[in-house]
Amino acid sequence: MAGHILVVDDEKLIRWSLRERLTADGYLVSEAADGAAARGLAESEAFDLALLDLRLPDTDGLTLFGELHALQPDMPVIMITAFSSVEGAVEAIKRGAADYLTKPFNMDELAICVDKAIRTQALQNRVSSEVDEKKARFGLSNIVGETAEVLRLRDLIGRVAQSETTSVLLLGESGTGKDMVARALHYESARVDKPFVDITCTALPESLLESELFGYEKGAFTDAKKRKKGLFEVANEGTVFLDEIGDMATSLQSKLLRVLDERSFRRVGGTTDIAVDVRVIAATNRDLDEAIRQGRFREDLYYRLSTVPIVVPPLRERRDDIPVLAEHFLRVYNAEFHREFRGLTPGALRRIRDYEWPGNVRELRNAIERAVLLGSGDELGLDEIVLGRSSLRSTRASNESVARLPKQGCDLGEVEKTLIAQALARTGGNRTQAADLLGLSRDQIRYKIAKHGLDA
């Protein structure tokens, strides 16, 4: 069946006509001659759409519309009305009805109207489901920890996410999870169903970064074969996350300031201002005060971004969260790698609790991922928990270097392409994991994959 439709009309002939046409179109049809019968059906059965007459013997259509909407919020309603009562149908549209038809109506027009309403609702349901899935994956629940520092951080993220502010500055050491905070700010906000786009400011040369952010017009430069939208345009009504903002060239900083102040920009090579409504979340592990003193960061941009500064604490300042995070990552990678480790041994827990974690949460996550991938037994012990770069180096083959230059030389580009291809193959195409293997950021590996034509 194409769907289940509730027809509510006190005229038997109209109900019959509607049932005949809708049944012929493949719908299952239930009928109600008054409001009481319609309410009873809506309480006991699920419907994909209701056709509702504005005038009924025991109630008015507007009142019944509200009652049906309360019972089945996702059910679209098409109002049926005489031409003289169109005002009431228009009021129903304002309250959320999908559409209205006036008597006498054309059956082909009705069929089109019904199909459109059901398809639109199905699309909305899919979007809502995707939003719920992303919110579960990236929302506040993923800021893991039980210490006072994390509780304060989650509270601040929730309040800022729901605010009207359009600029947020995230401060903290590398690996503390600023990217997760940025996503939580987006997926806990009213912009949740709009785009979230991110870019690392150090991933591209200045000229390419400008094109990525603002787009370009056809002919703006040699390879500009056609117009391209930039990230600000793509993210309209959503969020732009600029990671490593402290390393952005000062010439681009002035253009970013204009976007924040005027909410508009021009594509590279363009002459027309493009208005946008975006929330800009910037993050850095740099000391911006020092960068301002050295003339590497604009003071006016700093004040514009730091309307709401959020400091993400390093892991060593919330040590009680280390076992909690380790157990969280253990569950994640148990599921990903189909392993069944019950937990960490007391010795392993002491080791991770006492370690300084210079790489913060990212380093802890990678340590647990490696342990789950390579470990054995029921628990992760001291042998599985490898800490620090020196320890990782000691586990490699005892070569003097990772690679040797052949006597006849080599093509560095081909070497890079080969290593990226190997990293992608080893990780089953997972770009984030491949980037970690190569010491690259997400944007850097995305750029290099495109550069070498490995994204086909």
In a domain, 402, yes or no: no
In a domain, 10, yes or no: yes
CATH value at residue 447: 1.10.10
Report, as an integer, the average pLDDT of 169-173.
96
- Give the chain's mean pLDDT: 89
CATH value at residue 336: 1.10.8.60
Pick the closest to residue 29 from 111, 116, 129 (CA basis): 111
Which two three-digit tokens encode residue 143? 């800021």
Whole-angstrom Cα distance, residue 90 to residue 93?
A: 5
Report, as an integer, the average pLDDT of 229-241.
94
Whether residue 288 is found in the same domain as residue 171:
yes
Whether residue 98 is found in the same domain as residue 47:
yes
Query: Is residue 453 helix, strand or coil?
Result: coil
Q: Is the pLDDT of residue 165 over 70?
A: yes
Domain boundary among 367, 394, 421: 394
Whether residue 169 is found in the same domain as residue 292:
yes
Q: Is the pLDDT of residue 414 over 50?
A: yes
Whether residue 110 is found in the same domain as residue 16:
yes
Q: What percent of the chain has pLDDT over 70?
A: 95
In a domain, 58, yes or no: yes
In a domain, 57, yes or no: yes
Whether residue 289 is found in the same domain as residue 179:
yes
pLDDT in tens, 139-157: 999 999 999 999 999 999 9
Domain boundary among 132, 152, 171: 132
Domain count, the chain: 4
In a domain, 405, yes or no: no
Whole-angstrom Cα distance, residue 258 to residue 300?
A: 11
Whole-angstrom Cα distance, residue 193 to residue 235?
A: 11
Q: Is the pLDDT of residue 436 over 90?
A: no
SS (H, E, C) 381-441: CCCCCCCCHHHHHHCCCCCCCCCCCCCCCCCHHHHHHHHHHHHHHHCCCCHHHHHHHHCCC
In a domain, 401, yes or no: no
| Global confidence as pTM | 0.71
Across the beta sheet with 309-311, what order do the strands follow? 196-200, 239-243, 279-284, 167-171, 309-311
pLDDT of res. 398: 41
Report, as an integer, the average pLDDT of 98-107.
87
Whether residue 30 is found in the same domain as residue 81:
yes
Q: CB 227: neighbour CB atoms within 10 A?
A: 14
Whether residue 307 is found in the same domain as residue 164:
yes
pLDDT of res. 399: 42
Q: Is the pLDDT of residue 406 over 70?
A: no
Whether residue 8 is found in the same domain as residue 69:
yes
Report, as an integer, the average pLDDT of 180-208.
92
CATH value at residue 214: 3.40.50.300
CATH value at residue 89: 3.40.50.2300
DSSP state of 316: G
Report, as an integer, the average pLDDT of 419-443.
81
Whole-angstrom Cα distance, residue 181 to residue 324?
A: 18
Are residues 420 and 448 in contact, defined by beta-carbon separation less than 8 angstroms? yes
Q: Is the pLDDT of residue 106 over 80?
A: yes
Whether residue 146 is found in the same domain as residue 290:
yes
pLDDT of res. 317: 93
Pick the closest to residue 278 from 343, 213, 374 (CA basis): 213
Residue tagged 């157990």 (tokens): 327
What spatial distance separates the first Cα and last Cα of the chain, rounded to whole Å? 39
Whole-angstrom Cα distance, residue 25 to residue 103?
A: 21
In a domain, 404, yes or no: no
Whether residue 325 is found in the same domain as residue 433:
no
Report, as an integer, the average pLDDT of 33-43.
94
Sign of CA dihedral 118, 121, 125, 131: positive
pLDDT of res. 40: 94
Which two three-digit tokens encode residue 189? 């906000």
pLDDT of res. 66: 92
pLDDT of res. 84: 62
pLDDT of res. 417: 86
pLDDT of res. 312: 96
Domain boundary among 132, 159, 180: 132
CA distances from 195 to 83, 187, 264 (A): 42, 10, 17
Higher pLDDT, 5 or 86: 5
In a domain, 158, yes or no: yes
Whether residue 122 is found in the same domain as residue 146:
no
Whether residue 114 is found in the same domain as residue 191:
no
**Structural domain for 435, as ranges:** 412-451
